[in-house]
Amino acid sequence: MTGRQTIIPFGPQHPVLPEPIHLDLVVEDERVVSAIPSIGYVHRGLESLVDRRDYQDFVFLAERICGICSFTHSSTFCQGIEGLMGIQVP
């Protein structure tokens, strides 16, 4: 038998979160049974910046997406561009 379910909004700003995110936590009694993220909750305008800049200029912006994992964003962006353009990196 299951208990009563309650939905608790969590975020976007919370001390345990490294980045702003909004979750709806589905709680059954005192146990979290599901976490439903709100995708696209934080809009930083990066999509419109990409439209107005050269792809080479966006590498510097990609490094500033997150203060914790800056290398990952710029590296992934570069790998995506290389894959789309068919560039083989030596």
Which contacts qualify for 59-65: CB closer than 8 Å, 24 or more apart? none
pLDDT, residue 64, reads 78
pLDDT, residue 83, reads 94
The separation between CA 3 and the C-alpha centre of its own chain, rounded to angstroms, equals 32
Which of 25, 26, 22, 23 is closest to 12 using CA atoms?
Answer: 22
pTM for the whole structure: 0.50
The whole-number average pLDDT for the span 41-54 is 73
pLDDT at 86 over 90: yes
The whole-number average pLDDT for the span 56-72 is 79
The whole-number average pLDDT for the span 67-89 is 87
Tell me how far apart the alpha carbons of residues 19 and 17 are, in angstroms, rounded to a whole number. 5
pLDDT, residue 89, reads 87
pLDDT, residue 15, reads 66
